[in-house]
A and B are shown apart, each in its own frame.
Chain A
């Protein structure tokens, strides 16, 4: 029993989660009564984290030394990991039917969320600016495509696709200037207001935006002959390539001088400015890039859904995508992938658990993450890797016994304990 008390739960919880999940999952399958229905998703959750955690530990123990030997090794390993993930996405459509809750269409939209999330990661995770308004740029991008290519003018949609990020990027950059004056929650507040305003504005300027009825674009987008008539597949791979490109861009930024400057700004803006970092320029640029990404994602999203209307751009879009970013891990490129997937798939899964209150479940997941895993999923992976490198220890060190005895040691010759 004493051993149980000495187990370092905080660091090793996922190992036990793995065991627990493995036991519970087969058992909970047939249970369908009331609250007990939660057992199945909980066990999947536990199993998921358990597997990821243990795999990361193993990776840290066996691959860690290789990675640490040289920078090049580390980069190679990371590239390999990224390649694996990319390949997984490449072949996913073929297996989509076998995975519950997943369809090619949903994965396409998930990839579009990834684009928005990676912008949020750059803006919030790396530069430390909270923006609850990315949904607004998403909406603007979508409307731009719809208006420019179908309603007002007939620009080829590819052109609109390029115009959207340029337009939203400039908007975001300009918005970044007043945003310089806002700190923390006030910035969140101002950006939230931006998100709230989009829907009413879209309804108001009916002539331009089609008002409440929106702008339909069914069957009007041509796919340039790639994949023939398979519109869905085309958009999927298009989104995949675009998302991968954006991830690469952000990854490059983060490992450059610019990235270090952004992190400096996030951690201590005054100190960064004192060291000569042009904080204003960098912050507004981060806003611009994030807005551009969101605008592009919105445009391609509009092409995917083939419809835009004010109701699909409510404030909840901004909130949900921000939540997804945080859960994925807001200061990480890997986190963006997880975040995008989360934003798209969790509402469906949550709805599967309890028809009625998917957002409530999302909220609970969110809050649990904030207590247990502040760095999100990516943070969990990082922490576990580091733990693996330091040496796995199931039991806490023997501090407790000494504390209880009370050490009446002579003053100067006290313990040699390490803190």
Chain B
């Protein structure tokens, strides 16, 4: 099984302030990996480093190509898309415009139109609101839109930053189910950053636990779910 994303000794810094201290992780092709940890552990920073938003060094390869030093736009064109924390939907634009923007890097008009239809199939509520202003939708709907928007770029790797944040449990369940479907049907690999460790471990097959910019623990989802320390510290029982 090859890894679609591999990081070795990845370090990252905000200007002069280093926050990631040499972490190793990998996302297998077609798999879902979770990155857990408390606030400030460096999970979001890691995702942003992958997207080229801050100064990073070490080794970070996507399908064999190094991502370090590339612009965000280039990284998107290579096939990585991110659903940022807080969703990042274009609030003043309609649902359909959001999806069109998601496909910005693509030129195949027919393919884009087909994909928009598929998104409406995955997320029927988006189809109902296709001409509605994104900012007027509920949090859960916006989250779905954000995921759909990222998928419009036909990425091979999808990064998700706390998709459950601020959403009602039923909606989160629905979203996670759709993620699992997309992963299964389209083979989109996923790297999921979550504070809701329970759900994340149910969806992912492997997980890393970050603590102040370092990998504190890693293992298969089953292993982590079984681990006493993890359970007490992060799963709450």
**B18 x A411 contact (CB < 8 A):** no
B87 CB within 8 Å of chain A: no
Query: In the complex, A414→B22 CA distance in Å?
Result: 6
Within A375-419, the residues touching B (CB, 8 Å) are 403, 406-409, 411-412, 414-415, 417, 419
Q: A405: shortest Cβ distance to chain B, in Å?
A: 9
**A411 x B23 contact (CB < 8 A):** yes
**B21 x A415 contact (CB < 8 A):** yes
Query: In the complex, A313→B216 CA distance in Å?
Result: 68
Chain A interface: which of B6-14, B72-80, B108-116, B192-200?
Answer: B6-14
Cβ-defined partner of A409 (8 Å) among B16, B17, B22, B216? B22
**A419 x B17 contact (CB < 8 A):** yes
Q: Closest residue to B20 on the A side, CB-wise? A: A414
Cβ-defined partner of B9 (8 Å) among A409, A412, A417, A419? A409
**A411 x B57 contact (CB < 8 A):** no
11 additional A-B residue pairs with CB within 8 Å, beyond A411-B23, A414-B21: A403-B58, A406-B8, A406-B58, A408-B9, A408-B24, A411-B22, A411-B24, A411-B215, A411-B216, A412-B215, A419-B16
B105 CB within 8 Å of chain A: no
Number of interface residues of B (CB under 8 A): 18
In the complex, what residues of B have CB within 8 A of residue A414's CB?
Answer: 21-22, 214
Query: In the complex, A415→B58 CA distance in Å?
Result: 13
Cβ-defined partner of A419 (8 Å) among B13, B22, B57? B13
Q: Which of A409, A411, A415, A419 has the most CB of B within 10 A?
A: A411
Contact with A along B89-114 (1 / 0, CB 8 A): 00000000000000000000000000
Q: A254: shortest Cβ distance to chain B, in Å?
A: 29
B59 CB within 8 Å of chain A: yes
In the complex, what residues of B have CB within 8 A of residue A411's CB?
Answer: 22-24, 214-216, 218
Known: A407-B9, A407-B11, A417-B18. A412 touches B216 (CB 8 A): yes
Contact with A along B67-89 (1 / 0, CB 8 A): 00000000000000000000000
* 8 intermolecular pairs with C-beta atoms under 8 Å apart: A403-B58, A406-B57, A407-B9, A409-B22, A412-B216, A414-B214, A415-B21, A419-B16
Contact with A along B193-231 (1 / 0, CB 8 A): 000000000000000000000111010000000000000
Query: In the complex, A134→B218 CA distance in Å?
Result: 64
**Is the contact region of chain A dominated by helix, strand, or loop, or is it mixed?**
loop
Query: In the complex, A407→B21 CA distance in Å?
Result: 10
Q: A411: shortest Cβ distance to chain B, in Å?
A: 4
Q: A26: shortest Cβ distance to chain B, in Å?
A: 40
Cβ-defined partner of B214 (8 Å) among A408, A412, A417, A419? A412
Query: In the complex, A411→B24 CA distance in Å?
Result: 7
Query: In the complex, A91→B134 CA distance in Å?
Result: 71
Query: In the complex, A407→B56 CA distance in Å?
Result: 12
Q: Closest residue to A418 on the B side, CB-wise? A: B18
Q: B54: shortest Cβ distance to chain A, in Å?
A: 14
Q: Closest residue to A405 on the B side, CB-wise? A: B9
**A407 x B58 contact (CB < 8 A):** yes
In the complex, what residues of B have CB within 8 A of residue A412's CB?
Answer: 214-216
Q: B65: shortest Cβ distance to chain A, in Å?
A: 16
Query: In the complex, A419→B12 CA distance in Å?
Result: 11
In the complex, what residues of A have CB within 8 A of residue B218's CB?
Answer: 411
Within B41-62, the residues touching A (CB, 8 Å) are 57-59
In the complex, what residues of B have CB within 8 A of residue A403's CB?
Answer: 11, 57-58
Q: A268: shortest Cβ distance to chain B, in Å?
A: 21
Q: Closest residue to B210 on the A side, CB-wise? A: A411
Known: A419-B13, A419-B16, A419-B17. A407 touches B214 (CB 8 A): no
**A406 x B59 contact (CB < 8 A):** yes
Query: In the complex, A417→B11 CA distance in Å?
Result: 11
Query: In the complex, A403→B20 CA distance in Å?
Result: 13
Q: Closest residue to B56 on the A side, CB-wise? A: A403
Known: A412-B214, A414-B214. A406 touches B9 (CB 8 A): yes
Query: In the complex, A406→B7 CA distance in Å?
Result: 10
In the complex, what residues of B have CB within 8 A of residue A419's CB?
Answer: 13, 16-18
Query: In the complex, A414→B214 CA distance in Å?
Result: 8
Query: In the complex, A417→B22 CA distance in Å?
Result: 11
Q: A404: shortest Cβ distance to chain B, in Å?
A: 8
Query: In the complex, A409→B10 CA distance in Å?
Result: 10
Q: Closest residue to B8 on the A side, CB-wise? A: A408
Q: Which 10 A-B pairs have the closest CB atoms?
A: A411-B215, A414-B21, A407-B9, A403-B57, A414-B22, A419-B18, A406-B59, A409-B22, A408-B9, A407-B22
Query: In the complex, A219→B86 CA distance in Å?
Result: 72
Q: Closest residue to B19 on the A side, CB-wise? A: A419
Query: In the complex, A265→B58 CA distance in Å?
Result: 43
In the complex, what residues of A have CB within 8 A of residue B9's CB?
Answer: 406-409
In the complex, what residues of A have CB within 8 A of residue B215's CB?
Answer: 411-412
Q: Closest residue to A411 on the B side, CB-wise? A: B215
In the complex, what residues of A have CB within 8 A of residue B18's CB?
Answer: 417, 419
In the complex, what residues of B have CB within 8 A of residue A407's CB?
Answer: 9, 11, 22, 58
Q: B199: shortest Cβ distance to chain A, in Å?
A: 24
**A415 x B22 contact (CB < 8 A):** yes
Query: In the complex, A417→B21 CA distance in Å?
Result: 9
Q: Closest residue to B213 on the A side, CB-wise? A: A414
Query: In the complex, A239→B4 CA distance in Å?
Result: 73
Query: In the complex, A415→B21 CA distance in Å?
Result: 7
In the complex, what residues of B have CB within 8 A of residue A417's CB?
Answer: 18, 21
In the complex, what residues of A have CB within 8 A of residue B57's CB?
Answer: 403, 406
